[in-house]
Amino acid sequence: MHSIKKVIGKIEFGILAPQEIRKMSAAEITVPDTYDDDGYPIDGGLMDKRLGVIDPGLRCETCGARAGECPGHFGHIELARPVIHVGFAKTLFRVLQSTCRECGRILLTDEEIEEYMHKFEFAEGRRSEINRLIKEIHKKVKERKTCPHCGAPQFPIKFEKPTIYWETRIDEEGNEYKHRMMPSEVRDRLEKIPDKDLSLLGFHPENSRPEWMVLTVLPVPPVTTRPSITLENGVRAEDDLTHKLVDIIRINNRLKTNIEAGAPQLIIEDLWDLLQYHVTTYINNETSGVPAAKHKSGRPLKTLSQRLKGKEGRFRGNLSGKRVNFSARTVISPDPMISINEVGVPLAIAMELTIPEKVTEFNMEKLKKLISNGPDKYPGANYVIDPEGRRIRIMETNRETVLEMLDIGWTVERHLMDGDIVLFNRQPSLHRMSIMAHRVRVMPYKTFRLNLSVCPPYNADFDGDEMNLHVPQTEEAQAEARILMEVQNHIISPRYGGPLIGGIQDHISGGYLLTREGAYFTRLEVEQMLMFAGVDVDELPEPDRVEKGVEFWSGKTIFSLLLPKDLTIWYENKVGCKDKEKCEKLKKAIEEKLVLSDEEIRELSDDGFVYIRNGKLLSGVIDKKAYGREDGRLLDLIVKEYGTERGKQFLNQVTKLAIWVITHKGFTTAIDDEDLPQDAIERIREIIREAENNVNRLIQAYEMGELDAHPGKTLEETLESLIMQKLAEARDQAGDIASQYLGMGNHAVIMAKTGARGKILNITQMAAMLGQQSIRGKRLYRGYRGRVTTHFKPNDLGAEAKGFVVNSYKSGLTPTEYFFHAMGGREGLVDTAVRTAQSGYMQRRLINALQDLKVDYDGTVRDPSGIIVQFRYGEDGVDPMKSWGGKTLNVDRVIVRTLLKMRGE
Amino acid sequence: MAAKRKFNIFDHELVPEHRILSDEEKAELLKKYNIKLSQLPQIKASDPAVEELGAKPGDIIEIKRKSPTAGIYYYYRIVVED
The complex scores an ipTM of: 0.90
Residue A194 CA to chain centroid, in angstroms?
Answer: 50
A678 lies in the same domain as A789: yes
Secondary structure element (H or E) that encloses residue A187, with its range? helix A183-191
Do A114 and A143 lie in a common domain? yes
Asked whether the beta carbons of A774 and A824 are under 8 A apart, the reply is yes
pLDDT in tens, A524-555: 999 999 999 988 888 888 888 898 989 999 99
Please indicate whether, in this complex, the C-beta atoms of A865 and B75 are within 8 angstroms of each other.
no
Cβ distance of A867 and B69 shorter than 8 Å:
no
Nearest CA to CA, how far is B54 from chain A (Å)?
22
CB proximity A124 to B under 8 Å: yes
Choosing from A750, A784, A811, the residue where a domain stops is A811
Question: A511 and A652 in one domain?
Answer: yes
A343 backbone dihedrals φ, ψ, rounded to 5°:
-140, 135
Question: Does one domain contain both A292 and A343?
Answer: no
Q: Do residues A249 and A337 share a domain? A: no
If you average pLDDT over residues A584-608, what whole number do you get?
76
**Residues on B contacting A at a C-beta cutoff of 8 Å:** 33-35, 38-41, 67, 69-70, 73-76
- Strands across the sheet containing A550-554: A520-522, A550-554, A545-547
> Residue B73 and residue A872: Cβ atoms within 8 Å?
yes
| A392, part of any domain | yes
Residues A297 and A200 in one domain: no
Query: In this prediction, what percent of chain A has a pLDDT beyond 70?
Result: 99
One-letter amino acid of A727: L
Residues A576 and A629 reside in one and the same domain: yes
Average predicted confidence (pLDDT) for chain A: 88
Q: Is residue A904 part of a domain?
A: no
Mutant choice from B30, B33, B66 vs A, greatest count of A C-beta within 10 A = B33
Predicted confidence band of residue A559 (pLDDT cuts 50, 70, 90): very high
**Taking CB atoms and an 8 Å cutoff, what residues of chain B touch A874?**
69-70
| Cβ-defined contact of B40 to A867 (cutoff 8 Å) | yes
pLDDT for position A566: 85
CB contact under 8 A, B33 and A876: no
Decide if A8 is inside a domain. Answer: no
User: A-chain residues within 8 Å CB-CB of B33?
Assistant: 858, 860, 868, 871
Residue A512 structural domain? 506-665
Predicted TM-score (pTM) of the model is 0.78
Residue pair A340/A449 in contact (Cβ under 8 Å)? The answer is no
Nearest to B33 among A124, A860, A874 (CB): A860
* Tens-place pLDDT, residues A199-210: 888 888 888 889
Please indicate, yes or no, whether residues A641 and A714 belong to a single structural domain of this protein: no
Evaluate if residue A649 carries a pLDDT over 70.
yes
pLDDT band at A816 (very low <50, low <70, confident <90, very high): very high
Q: Is the pLDDT confidence value at B5 over 60? A: no
Residues A687 and A712 placed together within one structural domain of the fold:
yes
The beta-strand segments (E) located in A586-677 are: 609-613, 616-619
pLDDT, tens only, A717-737: 888 888 888 888 888 888 888
Nearest-CA distance B53 → chain A (Å): 23
Query: A222 pLDDT exceeds 60?
Result: yes
A230 located within any domain: yes
Q: Cα(A780)–Cα(A210) distance, rounded to whole angstroms? A: 65
- pLDDT of A383: 92
Residue A849 lies in a domain: no
Whether residues A873 and A757 share a domain: the answer is: no
CATH of the domain at A51: 4.10.860.120
**pLDDT of A415 above 90:** yes
State residue A3's pLDDT score.
65
Of A811, A843, A877, the one marking the end of a domain is A811
Given CB atoms, is A876 within the 8 Å cutoff of chain B? yes
CB A585 within 8 A of CB A608: no
Q: Do the bridges between strand A391-393 and strand A327-334 make them parallel or antiparallel, or are there none, so unpaired?
A: unpaired
Q: Select the more confidently predicted residue: A254 or A904.
A: A254
Question: Is residue A260 a part of any domain in this protein?
Answer: yes
- Residues β-bridged to residue A467: A330
Single out the residue in A776, A811, A846 at which a domain terminates.
A811
Beta-carbon contacts of residue A702 (< 8 Å; ≥ 6 apart): A715, A719, A797
Same domain (yes/no): A469, A522: no
Domain count, chain A: 6
In contact, A284 and A241? CB cutoff 8 Å? no
Interface test with B, best of A136, A495, A860, A871 (most B CBs within 10 A): A871
Is residue A157 included in any domain, yes or no?
yes
Q: Quick one: A366 and A485 in the same domain?
A: yes
Summarize pLDDT for A329-378 with one digit per residue, the tens.
999 999 999 999 999 999 999 999 999 999 999 999 999 999 999 899 98
